[in-house]
């Protein structure tokens, strides 16, 4: 199975599987200067959305959405079963819990916004989105962008299971895109957009005010939150220099010489 990140040149959008296959200086998921500016813009957009939520909440104008978890379960299909089984085989308990929470947040955001969402694709992408950090990986985060490696690995696994290639491409691209900070639903579809929002919510708490406290408590009761700093390997100097993970970590650390995170980087509770 070829997991090489340098197999073709591509002008595809940042984060897609094809984008990750370009050669040269910006291979293996390394960002150009313009792409770093794009990531900063995406983070700025998320910050503005969060600020707006804070202001609306203070003014009593933010309607928190909630649902019972029974109404959020993914469909039982061959694709979701294969995606879950693969994730469960290669990921540890904490990564699985993070992936389930990411799915729940994503579905809730979609339902709150009234988006037409394919839950089969969303669940498959969510449960697999951090396979690049799986315990049996053959590529380390210091060798290649871990989400691109994970997206390619999941793509090859699902192709081997005989699933529809159009669906697999959407799943793999959603996985690869989720580290962009913000993903446009117009450009990349509701599933990729919601996966990114769900991951940002679980790690940093962004958007949590839009969801009811009762629903949040139910999710944490079913899928408890551990130490995401270590579970997601959010460690300075650990990821390939110039990749999105490395860039995002550097933005949050003044001291870039340490190999382990400071306390202030601790992700927020949702």
| Residues 127, 87 contacting (CB under 8 angstroms) | yes
| Residues 268, 205 contacting (CB under 8 angstroms) | yes
Give a yes or no: residue 10 inside a domain: no
**Model pTM?**
0.91
| Residues 151, 176 contacting (CB under 8 angstroms) | yes
Give a yes or no: residue 238 inside a domain: no
Give a yes or no: residue 78 inside a domain: yes
Give a yes or no: residue 32 inside a domain: yes
Instruction: Say how many domains are in the chain.
Output: 1
Give a yes or no: residue 113 inside a domain: yes
| pLDDT string in tens for the chain (270-residue length) | 444 444 444 578 999 999 999 999 999 999 999 999 999 999 999 999 999 999 999 999 999 999 999 999 999 999 999 999 999 999 999 999 999 999 999 999 999 999 999 999 999 999 999 999 999 999 999 999 999 999 999 999 999 999 999 999 999 999 999 999 999 999 999 999 999 999 999 999 999 999 999 999 999 999 999 999 999 999 999 999 999 999 999 998 754 444 443 333 344 556
Q: Which two tokens stand for residue 69?
A: 């978890």
Domain that holds residue 185: 19-223
Give a yes or no: residue 256 inside a domain: no
């Amino acid at each position: 199975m070829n997991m090489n990140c340098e197999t073709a040149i591509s002008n595809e959008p940042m984060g897609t599987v094809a984008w990750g296959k370009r050669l040269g200086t910006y291979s293996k998921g390394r960002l150009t200067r313009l792409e770093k500016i794009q990531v900063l813009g995406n983070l700025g957009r998320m910050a503005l959305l969060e600020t707006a939520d804070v202001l609306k909440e203070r003014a009593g104008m933010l309607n928190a959405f909630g649902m019972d978890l029974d109404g959020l379960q993914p469909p039982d299909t061959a694709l979701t079963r294969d995606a879950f089984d693969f994730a469960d085989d290669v990921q540890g308990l904490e990564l699985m819990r993070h992936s389930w929470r990411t799915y729940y947040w994503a579905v809730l955001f979609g339902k709150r916004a009234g988006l037409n969402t394919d839950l089969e694709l969303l669940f498959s992408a969510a449960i697999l989105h951090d396979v690049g950090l799986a315990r049996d990986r053959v590529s380390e985060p210091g060798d290649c962008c871990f989400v691109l490696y994970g997206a390619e690995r999941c793509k090859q696994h699902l192709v081997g299971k005989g699933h529809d290639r159009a669906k697999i491409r959407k799943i793999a691209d959603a996985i690869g895109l989720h580290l962009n900070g913000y993903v446009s639903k117009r450009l990349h579809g509701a599933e990729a957009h919601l996966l990114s929002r769900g991951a940002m919510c679980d790690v940093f708490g962004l958007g949590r005010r839009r969801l009811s406290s009762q629903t949040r408590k139910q999710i944490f009761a079913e899928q408890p939150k551990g130490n995401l700093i270590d579970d997601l390997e959010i460690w300075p100097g650990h990821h390939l220099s110039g990749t999105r993970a490395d860039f995002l970590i550097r933005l949050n650390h003044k001291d870039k010489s340490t190999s382990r995170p400071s306390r202030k980087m601790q992700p927020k509770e949702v």
